[in-house]
């Protein structure tokens, strides 16, 4: 479960850092910045899925086939990502509410 939380945190934070990185690249074309950020985010997702596939394909656990192991890992990842997004949204809105409550 710890791996799922780490990967979910990275998938939540890295796209924002990609957007900030695109601002520093001195490209004034907004469309180009959006496409580059989108390509980086998709590449990140593909790498994560590839690492998960390699992890479950290389496992020597014969009690479960690799498809079931990968499906359970992806489900675990989805649940962890959902809870992280909900928690981040709740904390962000709470901080924003207290910051603008003057």
The CA R_g of the chain, rounded to the nearest whole Å, is 18
pLDDT digits (tens, 9 = 90+) for 2-55: 777 788 778 888 888 888 888 888 777 888 888 888 999 899 888 888 887 787
pLDDT digits (tens, 9 = 90+) for 55-101: 777 766 657 777 787 788 888 888 888 888 898 889 989 998 888 88
Give the chain's count of helices (H) and strands (E): 3, 0
Number of domains forming the structure of the chain: 1
Cα angle value 74/79/82 (rounded, 5°): 120
Task: Provide the domain limits for residue 94.
Answer: 2-99
């Amino acid at each position: 479960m710890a791996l799922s939380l780490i990967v979910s945190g990275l998938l939540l934070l890295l796209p924002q850092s990609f957007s900030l990185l695109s601002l520093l690249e001195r490209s004034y074309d907004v469309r180009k910045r959006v496409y580059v950020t989108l390509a980086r985010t998709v590449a990140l997702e593909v790498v994560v899925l590839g690492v998960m596939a390699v992890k479950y394909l290389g496992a020597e656990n014969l009690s479960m086939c690799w498809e079931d192991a990968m499906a359970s890992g992806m489900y675990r990842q989805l649940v962890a990502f959902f809870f992280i997004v909900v928690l981040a949204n709740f904390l962000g809105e709470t901080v924003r509410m207290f910051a603008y409550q003057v």
